[in-house]
Amino acid sequence: MTMKLYYCPQTRAFTSLWMMEEAGQPYELVRVNIRAPGHPNEAYRKINPMGKVAALEDGGMGFGETAAILLYVADKYPQAKLAPSTTDPRRGRFLQWLMFPAGTMEPVMTEKRLGNQPNSFQSGWGDYDRAFAALEAAMKPGPWLFGAEFTVADLYIASHLNFGMQFGMIDKRPAFTAFVERATARPAFKRAMEIEMKEAAKS
């Protein structure tokens, strides 16, 4: 059965669309209008209990959360080599960076935008300066977090940096700009962007 990606253009679902293009396996794109009155309806909440996009459905089971979607697809198609295997000692550090956009980048960006005074010791995500210093250090020597090997952690982080820097929520450090330029030069990103443009033109 073909996987279904529940997607809406100009949302966080773009990251999962990019992932499907990196995996290079057949999938069905299902449009969800998150701005329609009545969204999320009961049927969609069965696919993603949070009612958000993106969501993925495989073998009749649906789920949401970008990090979960990326890891699920990477593990399902190991031939795409987008994640260290479960026996690879780098797997733990890979998972740490895969959780970083949702667990740390989003909260510190939001805190900064709202002008909240962070308590780096108490809050699970630390603070903006600490988070982005750690990320910048991890990018060296590059080109990716695990050297020559591009993983879904790079994809997710690049996607977040791209969005955050475009909308002024993340400072444009040269290391971040270069990382995003490398990631968005990938053919799969370009294919996903073409789909995104076509879908956005329909709405």
Ligand X SMILES: N[C@@H](CCC(=O)N[C@@H](CS)C(=O)NCC(=O)O)C(=O)O
Contact set with ligand X (CB under 6 A): 11-12, 34, 40, 51-54, 64-66, 102
Please give the Cα distance from 28 to 20 (Å, whole number). Answer: 10
How many Å from the N-terminal Cα to the C-terminal Cα in the chain? 28
Q: Smallest gap, in angstroms, from Cβ of residue 124 to ligand X?
A: 15
Q: Which is nearer to ligand X, 123 or 187 (CB)?
A: 123
Q: Least separation, in Å, of the C-beta of 131 and ligand X?
A: 17
Cβ–Cβ < 8 Å for 39, 17: no
Q: Are 90 and 138 in contact (CB under 8 A)?
A: no
Name which of 44 and 146 has its Cβ closer to ligand X. 44
Peptide bond into 84 cis (omega under 30): no
Nearer to ligand X, 14 or 132 (CB): 14
Nearer to ligand X, 53 or 83 (CB): 53
Q: Can you tell me the distance from the alpha carbon of 25 to that of 22, in angstroms, rounded to the nearest whole number?
A: 8
Rounded to whole angstroms, the Cα distance separating 184 from 72 reads 22
Q: How far is the CB of 129 from ligand X (least distance, A)?
A: 23
HEC states along 81-98?
Answer: CCCCCCCCCCHHHHHHHH
Which residue number, 58 or 149, has a Cβ lying nearer to ligand X?
58
In contact, 176 and 161? CB cutoff 8 Å = yes
Helix axes 174-184, 187-202, angle to 10 degrees: 80
Smallest separation, CB 92 to ligand X (Å):
21
**Of 54 and 192, which CB lies nearer to ligand X in the complex structure?**
54
Q: How far is the CB of 148 from ligand X (least distance, A)?
A: 27
Please give the helix or strand (H or E) that residue 23 lies within, else none.
helix 13-23
The least CB distance from residue 178 to ligand X, in Å, is 25
